[in-house]
Amino acid sequence: MAIQESGEMYLETIYVLSRESDTIRGIDVGDYLGYSKPSVSRALNLLKEDGLVQRDKNGYIKLTEAGEKIAKNIYERHAVLTRLLINIGVDEETAAEDACRVEHYISDKTFEAIKYHMQKRGF
């Protein structure tokens, strides 16, 4: 399933927030991303329709198995790319911002090559 960059950003955000709390609401996602309530509501409904998120009876948001798989993949890309950029001399803030842009477009083949190179070099 191909999802848009914005959908990936929402999934990654829910994943990051879920590592800190079991009770995630749309407002938490909006605050984290700096998006309005209507934008978040629309995006979460689309992700729900795609079977990537679900809401429990109290309105808390959870990733489905499929959503978590995508979110973990994007989160790993972000972490690895940020680490790579820092290791080549980019400041941490810029590295994180650039990694966030690149993580959505880099091919699996290139990403795996980067991971291999970093492991080989001990990054």
Tell me if 52 sits within 8 A of 15, measured CB to CB. no
* Domain limits, the chain: 5-64, 70-121
Which CATH class, in words, describes the domain spanning 5-64?
Answer: mainly alpha
- pTM (2 d.p.): 0.88
**Fold agreement between 5-64 and 70-121:** no
Separation in Å, CA 52 to CA 1, 45, 61, 69: 11, 10, 10, 9
User: At which residue do the structure tokens 């994943």 appear?
Assistant: 15
Mention the CATH class of domain 70-121.
mainly alpha
Question: Which pLDDT band holds residue 123 (cuts at 50, 70, 90)?
Answer: confident
Neighbours of 102 (CB within 10 A): 18
Contact of 5 with 104, CB cutoff 8 Å = yes
Are 102 and 111 contacting, i.e. CB atoms less than 8 angstroms apart? no
Segment 79-98, tens digit of pLDDT = 999 999 999 999 999 999 99
